[in-house]
Amino acid sequence: MARFSLRFIALCLGAVIGIYHLRQEYLRFETSDVPVHSTVKGSRNDRVEFGTQITSTNPPASYASKLLNKVFLETCDNTTIIPDMPVNHIPMGQPVDPYQIVLLVSFNKYQYYEAVPYIELLYRDYFQSILYCGPSEPPEHMIINFQMSYVMFELESERDIGGAYIYNCMVQAINKGYDARGILYMSDDVILKVESIREYNWNEIWLADHWKGHNDSETTDLYLASFVDPLNQPKECYLTDVTLPCNKTLSQGWFAKLKGRILMAQDELLEKSKIETERDDQIFTNFLQFLEKRSGGKKRFFKAIADIYYLPKAYWNQFHKLAEVFLKHKLYMEIAVPTILHGLEKLKNHPTTLIGYRHHDPSVVIPIFFNNTDWYAWHPFKLGLLLHGDSNRIQVYCSLFHAHWYRHPRHIK
């Protein structure tokens, strides 16, 4: 019996040791000097509903900077700058003051959290706060090592398009009540020119609504459809002159697919506007009136790619209340966000996003992107592929630092 007990104990110890080594292998960025008493507190439900910030006994900020420097060296050691890459003749250094805005970075799949170290390398210290948002908790070692603040959105079902309702991240970011000028939302596969942000008006909404394509050609990414006819398919409108009748054949299938949901959302917005009193802030009344003026008619909704946009603090309350209605009726981000933003303010002189080149060589696109001072963001650039040995993408990413467009990691605090 004693022999059996000793054998059982030995097997248990072997299993524990095996699990320990597997965990250490998984936590590839975690090292031995992380305090062993680090903990993460708070229930899942608290974080989902209220966007409660993670509280933890974290390593000091200097540890995060050392870790980032290590990640950079492991990634970029012995890499060279890509051909035709423009060089910033005033190298980026430590900002005197971080931008007084929150950078909100979203992930529509759990595995994309692997890009966090590369995002931190690019943007850490340039923003007052960085808030991450995804469908689940990030890996614990990343929360601890990078002192991550995060919130989560929930997928309605596995059949949902990944990220369709990810504008809930903005709602939760607003819930956190940041003392900031605004919130800059972007998906994890956006490259942002940090030095260009200072050139734009932080009191205005930014939403890119057009593509830059081959040979500097420009095409709109903004679409508008009318839903006044409840019996037939919606019709697209003429953006060059919204006063014309909407009689164009649909080119955007989501307008047809979501017609029922759009009409239900429209009905609820109208009902909420009817019960607003003069003492209320008239959010729904003002929104419907301005949207009608901006779009040229009633029951018109916009569609655009919304992987990056900026919301000033003056509009947080309006966006929050309107987004709740759009989320309730399950309208996709590409319809909800542009419709809300165009119904809050006349968008003008907003920064331009380079959208497209999805299937083109990043080593060709990045030089074009940084040569054009009018563009402040490019989508998409998949940072997660760096971990999978994509040598071309690694060289492109490292060239951002070699060309001095981002602060060298040794200067990160």
Q: What is the mean pLDDT of the chain?
A: 81
Task: Return the SS3 of 207.
Answer: strand
Amino acid at 350: H
Q: What's the pLDDT at 53?
A: 36
Res. 17: pLDDT tops 70:
no
Of 48-62, 145-159, 259-273, 349-363, which range is least confident? 48-62
Give 350's pLDDT tier (boundaries 50, 70, 90): low
Q: What's the pLDDT at 355?
A: 65
Task: Locate 283 and state its tokens.
Answer: 């959010």
Res. 340: pLDDT tops 90:
yes
Cα separations (Å) of 103 from 4, 15, 123, 173, 194? 58, 42, 9, 10, 11
Tell me what the mean pLDDT of segment 380-391 comes to.
87
Res. 302: pLDDT tops 90:
yes
Looking at 56-191, list the stretches that DSSP marks H as alpha helix, in order from N- to C-terminal side.
Answer: 61-76, 116-123, 140-145, 168-175
Task: Locate 13 and state its tokens.
Answer: 């110890």
Question: What percent of the chain has pLDDT above 70?
Answer: 76
Res. 390: pLDDT tops 50:
yes
Looking at 51-182, list the stretches that DSSP marks H as alpha helix, in order from N- to C-terminal side.
Answer: 61-76, 116-123, 140-145, 168-175
Give 347's pLDDT tier (boundaries 50, 70, 90): confident
Domain definitions of the chain by residue range: 40-214+350-411, 216-305+318-342
Q: Which residues pair with 192 in a beta bridge?
A: 377
Evaluate the CA torsion angle 154, 145, 395, 408 in order and state its sign.
Answer: positive
Of 193-197, 232-236, 269-273, 301-305, which range is least confident? 193-197
Which of 112, 102, 100, 99 is CA-nearest to residue 187? 112
Amino acid at 5: S
Tokens 């909404």 belong to: 205
Res. 26: pLDDT tops 50:
no
Q: What's the pLDDT at 174?
A: 98
Amino acid at 264: M
Task: Return the SS3 of 351.
Answer: coil
